[in-house]
Amino acid sequence: MTGGPVDLHAADEAWLRRAVDLARQGRPDGADPNPRVGALLVDAGGVVVGEGFHAGAGTPHAEVVALREAGGRAEGTTAYVSLEPCAHTGRTGPCADALLAAGVARVVYAGADPTVEAAGGAERLRAAGVRVQHHPLTAAEELNRRWTAAVTSGRPFVTWKVGATLDGRVAAADGTSRWITGPQARRDVHRLRAEVGAIVVGTGTALADDPALTVRDEAGEPVGRQPLRVVVGRREVPAGAAVRADDHWLQVDSPDPFDTLKPLHDKQIRHVLLEGGPTLAAAWLQAGAIDEVRAYVAPTLLGAGPALVGDLGVATIAEAVRLELADVARLGEDVRLTLRPAPARTNPTTPVPEED
């Protein structure tokens, strides 16, 4: 049998989609050093004898959880896994070896492991006589999209979050900005914060707004795991600033975004939320360090005040930074836009004449 993708019959694909559904129960994509993975074991009669998902770093992998639930019934089963079983020893042993030891007869997986350290489980299983099939699923790829981008690029995936008025202002002329967007949009921002490993702002934002950069509930109280708070810039952040409420913060004095992203990647952070002001956002955009934009647009006009992004060095429309719309949602009176950088145009089309 070759190692390439194969077509499966409907029952196999349905079980594989169940593995993806299980994986979604793990920590959000990018909020953990490890990918989200789901697994289930199905016997020859089509009965599920074990299910599991990876709950986060340091916990048993999905395959191990499923094997523990199955016990002696695992022998001769088919394992459906959302990501290729790992072949390395980290905090836990190789999942490929665990499947072999349990006597699993067949393994079907959706996503190939992109990492040098953990890849190779499929080949190890094949070499031991296990029937292995790779069947890519878009749902499995999307599940760990940010994590995959981080481990293949060697830096965290970066989402730039911005809240703005319809005319692109992030604050009024006097600097006030609370609140441009409504409560539903603000709740959504806290859900987004809960999905990342770090939140980054510039010293300008830290000094002007004194943000807490925490994940909070509707009562304004911090909840759950808190992301690392990062301030970029050379100006001193006062000891009493909200961002310095405890030791879970970091200041980076380099203007190069990759000088911020590298140490975060070394800390096993895979998803970063950029909440900095217009100057920081412009610098990161120009450096190609932003992978996704989450824009919350309010039906409000200010007519003056700081724009949502600073100078990008764009002198003509042909030099504009282009984004592609990935998703749009209404949150109360506000609109949430999810955008991604558009691929560079290699063969631009002839401009369409403007209307008179």
The one catalytic residue in 13, 51, 63, 221 is: 63
State yes or no: 177 annotated in a binding site.
Answer: yes
Nearest to 139 by CA among 53, 278, 24: 24
Sign of CA pseudo-dihedral 138, 340, 162, 195: positive
Whether residue 27 is annotated as binding a ligand: the answer is: no
179 is in an annotated binding site: yes
Is 330 one of the annotated binding-site residues?
A: no
Q: Are strands 38-42 and 78-83 parallel, antiparallel or unpaired?
A: antiparallel
- Within 10 angstroms of residue 235's Cβ, the number of other Cβ atoms is 13
Whether 63 is a known active-site residue: answer yes
Please check if 102 is assigned to a binding site.
no
Task: Answer yes or no: is 216 a known binding residue.
Answer: yes
103 is in an annotated binding site: no
Residue 279 counted as an annotated binding residue: yes
Residue 31 is assigned to a ligand binding site: no
Handedness of CA 341, 147, 192, 248 (dihedral sign): negative
Amino acid at 258: F
- Residue 350 is labelled as binding a ligand: no
Inter-residue contact 166 to 298 (CB < 8 Å)? yes
Q: How many CA atoms lie within 13 A of 182 on its CB side?
A: 11
Per-residue three-class SS string for 119-135: CCHHHHHHHCCCEEEEC
State the amino acid at position 24 in one-letter form.
R
172 annotated ligand binder? no
Query: Is residue 14 a known part of a binding site?
Result: no
Residue 66 is labelled as binding a ligand: no
155 annotated to a ligand binding site: no
Binding residues for Zn(2+): 61, 86, 95
Binding residues for NADP(+): 163, 179, 205, 209, 277-283
Binding residues: 61, 86, 95, 163, 177, 179, 193, 205, 209, 213, 216, 275, 277-283
Which residues are catalytically annotated? 63
Binding residues for substrate: 177, 193, 213, 216, 275
